[in-house]
C-alpha cells in the first residue's frame, strides 16, 4: 500500500511541474487513497521527503565557505554556479530542487490534513489522531517558512502588507491556482500551523525524526528571532528548553573520527538534514581561515568542526548528521543562543550570560581553565552572542537569515567572495538577498516574480 501512496505523491509532482493542461486530467482510479491513521503516518514516514530534503539554497548562497577556481570550474551544475556568484536569475533547475522539495512536503502535509478529517477522533485513537495531525501541521508550517526564507524579504511589520509572500497552498487539489500572498499573510499562516502542531504533538517523539512539541516550539523560536520579535522568541525557546536542555560535553567526543559529532545526539530536539549538492561537498567547500581563526585554542570546536585538507585548507565536518549532509533540525545549542539573545535584548544581562557561558563551557577543553564572560555592557555581550551564533551554527543555512534580519537593524553586513581573481560583494540592500522564484514556476502559474 505504501508504494501506492508514493505513486500518488509522485503524480502530484509530475503534474505540478508539467503544463497546465495536465491539471485537468483525472488521477488513476487505481490509486489507493489513505484511509487510516497508519496510512497517513506512512506518508509522513517517507523521510527522504519529510526530513532529509531541507533546502540548500541558503547554505549555497552564504559566504561561510569558498571554492577554489578549479573546483568552481569543475562543477557540473550551472544553477549552483549562479547561486555561488549571487546571480539574479536562473538559479533553479526546472522541476527539481528546493522549490520542488518544499512544496512536495506541503502536498504531503495537505493530503494528511485533508484526509484526517474523514477519520473520527475517538477515545481509542485520540493520541494517534492528534500526533498524525500535529506532524502534518508542523511539516506545512516548516515548509512555508523555508520557502519564505529563500524567496521573500526579511519580515518587517511595517511593510508586511505590501511585501510579497509565497503561494499558500492549503489543500491537495491540483486545480487550485497558485497565487502569491502578502508576507503578512504568509507568516500568519505558518505561525498558525506551527502553533496548532504544538497543541497536538506529544512531548516526547518515538524518534528525533518525528516532530514533537519541542520541535514546534523550536521552529517558532527560530522564526520569531528572524522576525525580530524577541519576547516571543524567548517564550518559545524557553518552552523548547523546558523539554530538552541537554548539551554535549565536547570533551567526550573523539576528534579522530571523520565526523566526531554523533547523529541523533542528546542536543537534537528534532532531526532533519540538508541534502548536499556537489558544491557543498566537504572536499570542495572550504572554510575561510578568518572563520577558522575565530575559534580560540582552548575551544574544542576548532578540532571537532574542521578537517584540515592536504593543501592546508579546511573543510567543515561539524554536522549533527555524522555525515556529509548538513544539519537543518532543531537543536539545544541554537535554542540556548536564541534564549540568550532574546533575554539580553529584553534587559536581563545575568540570564543572558548564564546561557552563553553554559554553552561555551561545554565546548571548552577540560585541561584549559575556562574564563567566564562577565561583561556588564549590553552591546559587548550582544556582539559576543552574535559571534557565537556565527561560530556554533556554522553551515546550517542560518547565517543568510541572520544577515537579513540584522541588516534590518542597521548592521549593514555585506557578503564577500574572492572569485576568479575578483572580489564579489553583496551589499546589504542587494536584491539578491531575495532569490528569484524558478522561472518554470513563473511561466506555469503567472505569479509575480521577485524584482
pLDDT tens track for 67-100: 999 999 999 999 999 999 999 999 999 999 999 9
**Rounded to whole angstroms, how far apart are CA atoms 210 and 202?**
10
Whether residue 222 lies inside any domain: the answer is yes
Kindly state the average pLDDT of the residues 431-438. Answer: 98
Instruction: Tell me how far CA of residue 180 lies from CA of 18, 343, 429, 449, in angstroms.
Output: 19, 35, 23, 10
Residue 5 has pLDDT above 90, yes or no: no
Q: How confident is the model at residue 23 (pLDDT cuts 50, 70, 90)?
A: very low
More confident residue, 5 or 426: 426
For the chain, the farthest-separated pair of C-alpha atoms sits apart, in whole angstroms, at 69
What local confidence, expressed as pLDDT, does residue 35 receive?
81
Whether residue 314 lies inside any domain: the answer is no
**Rounded to whole angstroms, how far apart are CA atoms 21 and 175?**
10
Write out the three cell numbers for 66: 569558498
Residue 180 has pLDDT above 60, yes or no: yes
In angstroms and rounded to an integer, the radius of gyration of the C-alpha atoms of the chain is 22
What local confidence, expressed as pLDDT, does residue 1 receive?
41
Whether residue 451 lies inside any domain: the answer is no
What local confidence, expressed as pLDDT, does residue 26 receive?
36
Residue 6 has pLDDT above 80, yes or no: no
Q: How many domains does the chain have?
A: 1
> Residue 54 has what DSSP assignment?
B
What local confidence, expressed as pLDDT, does residue 34 receive?
77
Whether residue 265 lies inside any domain: the answer is no
Burial per residue of 366-403, b for 16 or more beta-carbon CB atoms within 10 angstroms, e otherwise? eeeeeeeeeeeeeeebeebbeebbebbbbbbbbbbbbb
Q: SS3 of 40, please?
A: helix
Residue 36 has pLDDT above 60, yes or no: yes
Mean pLDDT of the chain: 93
Whether residue 13 lies inside any domain: the answer is yes
Write out the three cell numbers for 279: 558544491
What local confidence, expressed as pLDDT, does residue 14 receive?
38
Residues in the chain: 451
pLDDT single digits (tens) 219-238? 999 999 999 999 999 999 99
Give the closest residue to 167 by CA, choosing from 183, 151, 185, 180.
180
> Cα–chain-centroid distance for residue 104?
16
Whether residue 308 lies inside any domain: the answer is no
Write out the three cell numbers for 378: 549590553
52: Cβ contacts below 8 Å, ≥ 6 apart: 272, 273, 275, 325
Q: SS3 of 69, please?
A: helix
**Rounded to whole angstroms, how far apart are CA atoms 65 and 83?**
13
Residue 401 has pLDDT above 50, yes or no: yes
**Rounded to whole angstroms, how far apart are CA atoms 14 and 28?**
14
Q: How confident is the model at residue 30 (pLDDT cuts 50, 70, 90)?
A: very low
Residue 31 has pLDDT above 90, yes or no: no
Residue 7 has pLDDT above 80, yes or no: no
Whether residue 236 lies inside any domain: the answer is yes
More confident residue, 276 or 372: 372
Domain span including residue 233: 2-252+326-445
For residue 326, list its beta bridge partners.
274
More confident residue, 6 or 426: 426
Instruction: Tell me how far CA of residue 348 lies from CA of 108, 429, 442, in angstroms.
Output: 42, 32, 47
Give the closest residue to 304 by CA, choosing from 394, 367, 244.
394
CATH number for 106: 1.25.40.390
pTM: 0.93
Whether residue 310 lies inside any domain: the answer is no
Kindly state the average pLDDT of the residues 183-191. Answer: 98
**Rounded to whole angstroms, how far apart are CA atoms 23 and 2?**
24
What local confidence, expressed as pLDDT, does residue 383 receive?
98
Residue 247 has pLDDT above 60, yes or no: yes
Write out the three cell numbers for 96: 527539481
Kindly state the average pLDDT of the residues 285-292. Answer: 95
Kindly state the average pLDDT of the residues 355-376. Answer: 97
Amino acid at each position: 500500500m505504501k508504494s501506492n501512496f508514493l505513486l500518488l505523491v509522485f503524480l502530484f509532482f509530475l503534474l505540478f511541474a508539467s503544463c497546465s493542461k495536465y491539471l485537468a486530467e483525472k488521477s488513476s482510479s487505481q490509486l489507493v487513497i489513505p484511509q487510516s491513521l497508519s496510512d497517513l503516518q506512512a506518508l509522513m514516514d517517507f523521510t527522504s521527503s519529510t526530513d532529509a530534503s531541507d533546502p540548500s539554497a541558503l547554505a549555497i548562497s552564504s559566504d561561510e565557505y569558498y571554492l577554489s577556481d578549479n573546483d568552481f570550474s569543475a562543477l557540473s551544475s550551472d544553477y549552483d554556479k549562479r547561486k555561488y556568484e549571487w546571480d539574479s536569475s536562473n538559479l533553479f533547475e526546472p522541476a527539481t530542487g528546493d522549490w520542488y522539495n518544499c512544496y512536495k512536503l506541503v502536498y504531503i502535509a495537505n493530503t494528511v490534513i485533508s484526509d484526517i478529517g474523514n477519520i473520527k477522533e475517538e477515545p481509542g485513537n485520540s493520541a494517534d489522531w492528534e500526533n498524525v495531525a500535529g506532524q502534518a501541521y508542523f511539516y506545512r508550517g516548516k515548509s512555508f517558512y523555508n520557502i519564505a526564507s529563500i524567496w521573500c524579504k526579511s519580515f518587517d511589520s511595517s511593510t508586511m502588507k505590501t511585501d510579497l509572500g509565497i503561494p499558500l497552498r492549503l489543500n491537495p487539489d491540483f486545480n487550485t491556482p497558485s497565487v502569491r500572498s502578502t508576507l503578512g499573510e504568509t507568516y500568519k499562516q505558518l505561525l498558525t500551523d506551527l502553533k496548532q502542531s504544538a497543541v497536538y504533538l506529544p512531548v516526547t517523539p518515538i524518534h528525533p525524526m518525528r516532530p514533537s512539541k519541542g520541535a514546534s516550539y523550536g521552529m517558532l523560536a527560530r522564526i520569531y528571532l528572524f522576525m525580530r520579535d524577541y519576547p516571543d522568541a524567548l517564550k518559545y525557546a524557553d518552552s523548547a528548553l523546558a523539554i530538552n536542555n541537554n548539551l554535549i560535553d565536547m570533551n567526550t567526543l573523539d576528534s579522530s573520527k571523520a565526523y566526531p559529532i554523533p547523529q541523533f545526539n542528546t542536543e537534537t530536539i528534532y532531526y532533519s538534514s540538508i541534502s548536499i549538492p556537489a558544491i557543498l561537498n566537504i572536499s570542495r567547500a572550504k572554510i575561510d581561515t578568518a572563520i577558522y581563526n575565530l575559534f580560540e585554542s582552548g575551544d574544542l570546536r576548532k578540532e571537532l568542526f574542521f578537517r584540515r585538507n592536504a593543501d592546508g585548507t579546511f573543510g567543515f565536518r561539524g554536522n549533527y548528521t555524522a555525515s556529509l549532509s548538513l544539519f537543518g533540525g532543531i537543536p539545544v545549542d541554537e535554542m540556548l543562543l536564541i534564549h540568550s539573545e532574546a533575554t539580553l535584548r529584553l534587559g536581563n544581562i545575568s540570564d543572558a550570560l548564564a546561557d552563553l557561558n553554559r554553552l561555551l563551557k561545554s565546548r571548552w577543553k577540560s585541561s584549559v581553565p575556562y574564563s567566564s564572560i562577565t561583561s556588564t555592557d549590553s552591546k559587548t555581550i550582544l556582539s559576543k552572542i552574535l559571534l557565537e551564533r556565527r561560530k556554533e551554527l556554522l553551515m546550517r543555512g542560518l547565517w543568510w537569515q541572520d544577515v537579513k534580519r540584522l541588516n534590518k537593524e542597521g548592521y549593514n553586513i555585506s557578503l564577500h567572495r574572492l572569485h576568479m581573481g575578483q572580489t564579489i560583494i553583496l551589499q546589504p540592500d542587494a536584491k539578491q538577498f531575495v532569490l528569484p522564484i524558478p522561472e518554470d514556476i513563473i511561466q506555469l502559474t503567472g505569479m509575480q516574480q521577485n524584482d
